[in-house]
Amino acid sequence: MRLIELRIRDLRVIRELAIELGSGLNVFVGANGAGKTSVLESAYLLSHGRSFRRGARDTLSRLESDGYSVFGHLQQGSGRERRLGIARVGNKLETRVDGETVGIAGLVKTCAVACFEPGSHELISGIAEERRRYLDWGVFHVEQEFLQDWRRYQRALRQRNSALRSVGADGELEPWEIEMSVAGERIARFRQGYVDRLRPFLQSVLNDFLGELGDSEIVFDRGWNDGQSLAAALAESRGRDRERGHTGRGPHRADWSLGFEKAPRREHLSRGQEKLCALALILAQARLYAAETGEWPILCFDDLASELDQAHQTLVMEQVLASGAQALISGTEPPRALAPDLDGARMFHVEQGRIDP
């Protein structure tokens, strides 16, 4: 999977530009605030429908602009070419694939971008929602029924929460609990299956990056007690949920944790080790995506040189080059680990929202 071209308008400091990308390494170099990250962010928008920067929704549009747009010309592994677009004008978000208006799910299904950036450590140290998003992005691309089950579950969850807040009787809760149980059990199976398939890829990458910590393990918590059905968990928690005004058990409370033989809890990890764990998770997910779909996602590395020491940069670049994946890399200077391979890379200079090859 490769982005042949990116066209960006009114995104952060970028007024308007068009970039023709190489099929391998694409390196964007410039001062802080020049717009390098915004290029990677635009590719990510075409894959996720949102930015990888936290709380970025209201700051994506360039100052004095009422919206932004990103267009991508994509070539899939099969050779098929697709045209993608996402645009926001005021409060309205529009997403298109091959000229047809689709929901964000249609955009996400078409384009896959995996990104390592300065906030990626929140996969380890952040809130559970970040870890659920990571998991669900992978599940969504391989399980055709996942989105339907998730929407079904969310509708029933909203209705149950509404009934809880109105102090509804058990008879008002039961229909929604039945709906939640059917969809929620399936969601949990999809997620557990994905974690099981991800595990060997993740252990392999972590052994390269953090072998000194010993064997690693990723453990999935589905959001309610093991050995108990979701229907039973919901019925059991009605009293407590009424007091709180919301549902406390179910897939919307799921999480996962990563531990090592010599660092069993995330609190035992340094910030640098958290970053390496996050990077390993992203690369392992990309490997699994390639194994299950037959093509690599597009890889983005924002400010790689400042996030990793040279030894780990070299490990990352070796894996990227071996994969043959397209990669977008940003920094105030080219990563030193790339020095032997820069002749084969497409280089861009970024300055005040302008980009020159």
What tens-digit pLDDT sequence spans the chain (357 residues)? Answer: 999 999 999 998 899 999 999 999 999 999 988 899 999 999 999 999 999 887 656 678 888 888 999 999 999 988 899 999 999 988 899 999 999 999 899 999 999 999 999 889 999 999 999 999 999 999 999 998 999 999 999 999 999 999 999 987 888 999 999 999 999 999 999 999 999 999 999 999 999 999 999 999 999 999 999 999 999 999 999 999 999 999 999 999 999 999 999 999 888 999 999 999 999 999 999 999 999 999 999 999 998 888 888 888 889 988 898 999 999 999 888 777 776 667 778 999 998 888 888
| Residue with the two structure tokens 């950036």 | 117
> Is residue 159 in a domain?
no
Domains: count for the chain: 1
Q: Which residues fall within 8 angstroms of residue 279, CB to CB, at 6 or more apart?
A: 116, 120, 209, 308, 312, 316
Coil, strand or helix at 38: helix
CATH number of the domain encompassing residue 18: 3.40.50.300
Q: Domain of 59? A: 2-142+198-224+250-356
> Is residue 58 in a domain?
yes
- Give one DSSP letter per residue of 257-304, joined into a string: EEEETTB-SGGGS-HHHHHHHHHHHHHHHHHHHHHHHSSPPEEEETTH
> Is residue 172 in a domain?
no
> Is residue 157 in a domain?
no
Question: Are 15 and 22 a contacting pair, CB within 8 Å?
Answer: no
> Is residue 232 in a domain?
no
> Is residue 238 in a domain?
no
- Give one DSSP letter per residue of 168-194, joined into a string: --HHHHHHHHHHHHHHHHHHHHHHHHH
> Is residue 192 in a domain?
no
DSSP assigned state of 21: P
> Is residue 327 in a domain?
yes
